[in-house]
Homo-oligomer: A and B are copies of this chain.
Amino acid sequence: MLIGKVVGSVVSTRKDEKLESLKLLVVQVHDQQGRAQDAYVVAADAVQAGTGDMVLYATGSSARQTELTENRPCDAVVMAVVDSWDLDGKNVYEKWSEA
């Protein structure tokens, strides 16, 4: 998994029928220091994440292991909203400190 931030969403009406009802988020990849990277992924939303949320996303066949994404042509899923993480014992990110 990698850490990302939800920065947008994609709308599509003409799509494979197996994609119906999936919300598709634009997630900007972040590094372990919490810095935005010059990379993104479009991922299905399994946790009702909102814009600005720091999240974890999984890719590949693992992205089809949520109830929502099972058997769907979906190769990335947001499956957790991040509360916090630490590196070498120091807090890097705290969701609630941003409120």
Contact = CB atoms under 8 A, between A and B. Distances in A.
A86 B40 CA distance: 13
A27 to B, nearest CB: 9
A23 interface: no
Nearest to A52: B88
A82 B56 CA distance: 24
Nearest to A65: B73
Interface residues of A, number: 59
25 contacts: A1-B42, A1-B75, A2-B41, A3-B42, A7-B88, A8-B86, A8-B87, A8-B88, A10-B85, A12-B56, A12-B80, A13-B81, A14-B81, A15-B47, A15-B81, A16-B47, A51-B88, A58-B75, A62-B63, A62-B73, A62-B75, A63-B73, A64-B73, A65-B72, A66-B73
